[in-house]
């Protein structure tokens, strides 16, 4: 829907949202890509320091929310998001991520001397993915803040908890998101207002194990499919049970194959034919529904209109209500460069 109220256009509003977290960065700027050693977040933080200082005071201006670990509270729901940290984040001005793909190359031919010259053209297609909007809303009663002051900053603690909730949902949707209510909920995470994640977007190179176990031949075949379709796979992702099964498969080769590994941003993994395998708790983990992904990370990215911000909501009683939000969409620019093995034991 194109809104235009009081002379303010949709483009103007989206531009304000963009500038709130990216200031004057050009549209399409990669500000986080661990594979290429790109990290512009310190630079962004310096530009946004005035806003960051306001993050825990509930001002009416949206502010970047840093996440700090509070050692005084044991979080029984703690869950890491290792895969999210491997995906490059790219600025996106506007409410849609638009990109072009080459679907057919021009030809080249040997010809006779002075032959007629016939041109051949490159074929392009344009793809669009709409930005989606993720929120986490919190509230504290007025008395709860002074009552807990001697023990903890309750407001700061709740902001941290909600920012972690956003982070977890980001990774789960990126991997397992679906907008189809009929998809298997053991594999997919349904939300009509979300987007289709990586598992849903990969449709070309797929292997159905029908409840069977992962094996070395299946992994190698999935890697081969990616390469033969133009990909250069550099990361594999699965659940912890499948990860442990692969470790046991490789154990017999450990005397001549180095299966230990650390990704260049500190995350532990094991290597298979030179490609790291990462376990992730946000992958499907139901018997006969598990999934193994082989990914070319150069074609996977989060397009971000506005990164994580916190804003105060209207005060209607003696309480502090706030929201954390992020505007983004996950895209696989060339799904045929990746592969999935699904319905694993």
Domains 9-97+127-175+301-332 and 205-300+334-344 share a fold: no
Q: Does the domain spanning 205-300+334-344 belong to CATH 3.40.630.40?
A: no
pTM: 0.82
Distance of CA 311 to the CA centre of its chain: 23
The CATH number fitting domain 9-97+127-175+301-332, selected from 3.30.450, 3.30.2400, 2.60.40, 3.80.10: 3.30.2400
- Tell me the average pLDDT across 88-110: 93
Structure confidence at residue 3 as a pLDDT band (50, 70, 90): very low
| Residue pLDDT, tens place only, 58-84 | 443 344 444 444 445 656 666 788 899
Structure confidence at residue 342 as a pLDDT band (50, 70, 90): very high
For the chain, give every domain's residue range.
9-97+127-175+301-332, 205-300+334-344
Distances (CA, A) of 123 to 103, 106, 109, 127: 6, 8, 18, 13
Quote the longest CA-to-CA distance of the chain. 91
Q: Write down the residue that tokens 């209109």 correspond to.
A: 305
- Tokens matching residue 340: 């999935």
């Amino acid at each position: 829907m194109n809104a235009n109220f009081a002379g303010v256009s949709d483009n103007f509003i989206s531009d304000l949202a963009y500038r709130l977290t990216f200031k004057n960065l050009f549209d399409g700027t990669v500000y986080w890509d661990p594979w290429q050693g790109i990290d512009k977040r310190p630079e962004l933080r310096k530009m946004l320091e005035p806003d960051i200082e306001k993050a825990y005071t509930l001002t009416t201006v949206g502010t970047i929310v840093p996440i700090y670990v509070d050692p005084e509270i044991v979080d029984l729901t703690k869950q890491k998001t290792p895969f999210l940290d491997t995906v490059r984040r790219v600025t996106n001005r506007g409410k849609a991520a638009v990109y072009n793909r080459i679907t057919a190359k021009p030809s080249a031919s040997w010809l006779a001397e002075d032959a007629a010259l016939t041109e051949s053209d490159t074929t392009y297609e344009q793809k669009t993915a709409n930005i989606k909007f993720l929120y986490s809303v919190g509230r504290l009663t007025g008395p709860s803040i002074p009552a807990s002051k001697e023990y903890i900053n309750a407001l700061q603690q709740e902001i941290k908890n909600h920012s972690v909730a956003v982070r977890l949902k980001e990774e789960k949707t990126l991997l397992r998101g679906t907008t189809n209510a009929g998809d298997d909920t053991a594999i997919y995470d349904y939300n009509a207002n979300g987007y289709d994640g990586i598992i849903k977007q990969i449709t070309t190179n797929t292997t159905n194990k029908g409840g069977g176990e992962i094996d070395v031949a299946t992994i190698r075949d999935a890697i081969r499919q990616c390469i033969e379709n133009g990909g250069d796979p550099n990361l594999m992702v699965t659940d912890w049970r499948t990860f442990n099964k692969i470790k046991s498969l490789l154990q017999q080769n450990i005397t001549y194959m180095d299966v230990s590994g650390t990704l260049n941003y500190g995350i532990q993994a094991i290597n298979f034919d030179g490609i790291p395998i990462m376990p992730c708790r946000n992958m499907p983990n139901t018997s006969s529904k598990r999934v193994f992904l082989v990914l070319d990370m150069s074609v996977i990215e989060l397009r971000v209109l506005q990164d994580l911000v916190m804003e105060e909501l209207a005060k209607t009683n003696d309480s502090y209500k706030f929201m954390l939000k992020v505007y983004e969409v996950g895209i696989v620019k060339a799904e045929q460069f990746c592969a999935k093995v699904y319905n694993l034991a």
